[in-house]
A and B are shown apart, each in its own frame.
Chain A
Amino acid sequence: MALRELSSLEKFLGLNKLNKYSTQGERKVPVLQNNNGSSLVGLATISSHLVREAKKRELLGDSPEQRAVVQQWLEYRLTRLDNCSKDEFKIILRELNQHLVDKVYLAGNSITLADALMYYGIHHIVMELAVQQKEKYLNVTRWFDHIQHYPGVRHHLPPVAVLRNRVYPSSQH
């Protein structure tokens, strides 16, 4: 899963030469073998490296504050979202929904690596949501729809249908 995600990310970053990856351990942590012999381990580490390679450092945040928030959401993705149980989906969706109330992107006013990785990570959850639930987590759905239509992000993932109008009365949530 993580490997397809990384290849989609490479395409999004506009990297031409495709890297070779392997996985290690039970949790299939991605590993990138570098040209100079050293290896990079872990999704967040490799993605940050790819961003630098593509010379798109703005995706890691352009102020110290934004950089910190990007790191925070990368961490959230790896620690909270990945391998979480079905019961925790609701909590995560609620937290994200709350965070996105007044935001277009996860960190600051422009797309960052955090948005891309969070989109890849949460796709399978949003995909399974019923229309009523998508409406319940309205801010997540709005952000998700925006990211999936952001040029170059989606790649290997199927698009998720999102209704632009509310169809349920607000009392039914």
Chain B
Amino acid sequence: MTKEQVKSSAEEEQQAAQSKKALKKQQKEAEKAAKKAEKQAKLAADQQTTEEDDFAQDRYGVCVMMQSQEKLDRSLVRVCELTPDRAGQTVWVRARIHTSRAKGKQCFLVLRQQQFNVQALVAVGERASKQMVKFAANITKESIVDVEAVVQKVEQKIESCSQQDVELHIQKLFVVSQAEPRLPLQLDDAVRPEVEGEEEGRATVNQDTRLDNRVIDLRTTTSQAIFRLQSGVCQLFRETLTKKGFVEIQTPKIISAASEGGANVFTVSYFKTSAYLAQSPQLYKQMCICADFDKVFCVGPVFRAEDSNTHRHLTEFVGLDIEMAFNYHYHEVIDSITDTMVQIFKGLRDNFQTEIQTVCKQYTSEPFKFLEPTLRLEFKEAVALLRSAGVEMGDEEDLSTPNEKLLGRLVKEKYDTDFYVLDKYPLAVRPFYTMPDPHDPKYSNSYDMFMRGEEILSGAQRVHDAQLLTERALHHGIDLEKIKAYIDSFRYGAPPHAGGGIGLERVTMLYLGLHNVRQTSMFPRDPKRLTP
């Protein structure tokens, strides 16, 4: 054979082989199609038959949208109330589907309501059909359902649920609101401790994903606990101060002049002129003091236009502000504020232990420690402490963030407290309305309070003398015209007074030992985030 012949015959063979292959392929495909058709037919038939003989078809399904058509005389039991006392009772519960797991003729559901969850079971039997179990298994995660079920005691504790001693045997199951099948983040991933996640190689959710899908992230047990505790902080703050004879006031947030220098305020257009968003209710609470309200506090938003992208700065946060007239020494005010803080810490420790433990499961931290009465250090002492640790700093230099943190550790080691007051700051680093120290003009009657080495409150005795206030304002280069109303309010008799402002988010963050203030702000605002 010539070379060409060899070649062509080889090609032929190849072609033959190919066509053989193709033939086989075709055959296979045809078989597949036939099988598929058969299956589908069977499925359809099945469905038909099942639809026909599903005895339980009234016991499950998707509800019509609730438009308040009827007033059902049905009381819904809360998941946290499902205890062994209710064993044998038939109850109605509304909850979310946390997870569902089908296993042959049974389907296990974990029903969640806020931070509580309970195991529920749909099993083929007298009350549930095969189709009902299938329906239960197909409900998407996070859907809201109404179930009628019998509470049953269980022999072995259910470790994964908050209601460990009972489970629900479902008799009826209706979907009230259906969730889309794909969730932007999984709740289980969002509560996994980060270290453990790394070790196990399992997913965790990063901060930005959480914040982008805040509504879902807020459903996690950790978030639920954080914000319940935060509400507790506000409540304890109000209670304690009200008991002390304080009056709650509301102040405007749209103001005409910046209180602490114009650099870090938001400007808003205000009809034909411009206005600012309040950095603190500072001026107004002081005016209330001049108006004889004596002791005032205010809970409300404050705004900072600082372009700080750090773990502890937000552009809008909730300020807890206190201002109080005193008799002879501003330490009266410090004592009043520290006592308020201590009451808050005690209240949290005594009433929010469950929440603290829940957060601790994801973010471990040492329990918060404080002394009674609160430790008060002078700025000079702090500088000495820092120098003993090898930090070089000037006498009148403000504390840098790393130094603040280090000081916190040094104080903790020496005094075993996470909460202390730093008194007598250098005058140069404080705002113009700060009262100078009578003994040393380099220092001032101002103070900061720290939790776990981070500042939560900044306060001072204010200048209540119009003359001195004018001098101080001029010294700071402030346009007197713009703060005329403020200075004038001190001309007609002003009592000596002091006060301070606390950031609610920071207190919550530091009390729980968290590392980012965004975790304790429900819808955080920072230079890079304006939504959701």
Contacts and interface: CB of A to CB of B under 8 A. Distances in A.
Interface of A: 130-132, 160-163, 165-169, 171
A167 B410 contact: yes
Contacts of A162: 390
A132 to B, nearest CB: 8
Interface string B384-396: 0001111100000
Nearest to A169: B366
Contact of B389 (A161, A166, A171): A161
B366 to A, nearest CB: 7
Chain B interface size band reads: 10 to 19
Interface of A is mostly: loop
A131 B406 contact: yes
A163 B366 contact: no
Interface of B: 364, 366, 387-391, 402, 406, 409-410, 412-413
B388 A165 contact: no
Contacts of A163: 388-389
26 contacts: A130-B402, A130-B406, A131-B389, A131-B390, A131-B391, A131-B406, A131-B409, A132-B406, A132-B409, A160-B390, A161-B387, A161-B388, A161-B389, A161-B390, A162-B390, A163-B388, A163-B389, A165-B413, A166-B413, A167-B406, A167-B409, A167-B410, A167-B413, A168-B409, A169-B366, A171-B364
Nearest to A165: B413
A115 to B, nearest CB: 21
A130 B391 CA distance: 9
A135 B387 CA distance: 17
B20 to A, nearest CB: 63
Contacts of A171: 364
B196 to A, nearest CB: 14
A167 B412 contact: yes
Contacts of B410: 167
A93 to B, nearest CB: 17
A171 B363 CA distance: 13
Task: Please name the 5 residue pairs, one residue from A and one from B, whose CB atoms are nearest each other, closest first.
Answer: A161-B390, A167-B409, A167-B413, A131-B389, A165-B413
A166 B364 CA distance: 20
Given A132-B406, A165-B413, A167-B412, 9 more contacts: A131-B389, A131-B391, A132-B409, A160-B390, A161-B387, A161-B390, A167-B406, A167-B409, A171-B364
A70 to B, nearest CB: 30
